[in-house]
Amino acid sequence: MKIYVLRIGHRPERDKRITTHVGLVARAFGASGFILGDINDKTVVNSLRKVLETWGGTMEILAGVNSLNYIIEWKKRGGEVIHLTMYGLPVDYVVDKIRNSRKDKLIVVGAEKVPPRYYEIADYNVSIGNQPHSEVSALAVFLDRLFEGKELYKRYVKSKIEIMPQVKGKKVVAKY
Ligand code: SAM
């Protein structure tokens, strides 16, 4: 089952850091793809590629695709679309159904104001609480609920380094 994250509404002049963090959360919380919709911001893409080079993993990264067309194609291929928004249904009401469907999942997160079309086209509009916070936190909580916490123990292929958890201090092992 593919789990991809689509970041829409990225504004290059102010969102580089937060969009990079959306990509980092996608990777670290178990997604297999990160799509930056409608714009190709090389700063964001290069930062994420560097993390993959060092820390491993096979997450696919795409930028500049048309978001709505991507969603339409995703659905045509049998996948489902989950839009994270504070206006949606509480995550606990829907996450079991989403997990059990076994369909590929495209998780959409916005920036400022998300156009109404995204609410209509999504199979699920899901809230992580009904207070405004951030695409980074919303994505992390959603993926953690989807994977029931198991994603935190995933190991990453082709990593150059790996952390050995310590009671105190830092231990990092070079793998080759
Ligand atoms: N008005 C926006 C909304 O619809 O959720 C809040 C904008 S917020 C700065 C940017 C993104 O963070 C949203 O598009 C949404 O994906 C995510 N987000 C923020 N709060 C959320 C919440 N409580 N539940 C789910 N997603 C949230």
Condensed to tens digits (0 to 9), the pLDDT of residues 24-41 reads 999 999 999 999 999 999
What are the two backbone dihedrals, phi and then psi, of residue 13, each rounded to the nearest 5 degrees?
A: -75, -20
pTM of this structure: 0.97
Q: How confident is the model at residue 133 (pLDDT cuts 50, 70, 90)?
A: very high
What is the CB neighbour count within 10 angstroms for residue 163?
A: 11
Q: Are 145 and 95 in contact (CB under 8 A)?
A: yes
Spatial distance between the Cα atoms of 81 and 79, rounded to a whole number of angstroms: 7
Among 12, 28, 8, 2, smallest CA distance to 109 is for 8
Q: What is the predicted pLDDT for the residue at 96?
A: 98
Ligand 1 pocket, 135 CB below 6 A?
A: yes
Q: How confident is the model at residue 22 (pLDDT cuts 50, 70, 90)?
A: very high
Pocket perturbation via mutation, ligand 1, pick of 10, 84, 91 by most ligand atoms within 8 A of CB: 84
Ligand 1 pocket, 138 CB below 6 A?
A: yes
Ligand 1 pocket, 136 CB below 6 A?
A: no
Q: Are 62 and 86 in contact (CB under 8 A)?
A: no
CATH code of 3-174, in short, is 3.40.1280.10
Q: Answer yes or no: is pLDDT of 144 > 80.
A: yes
Among 116, 117, 129, 118, smallest CA distance to 86 is for 129
17 Cβ contact partners less than 8 Å away, ≥ 6 residues apart:
none
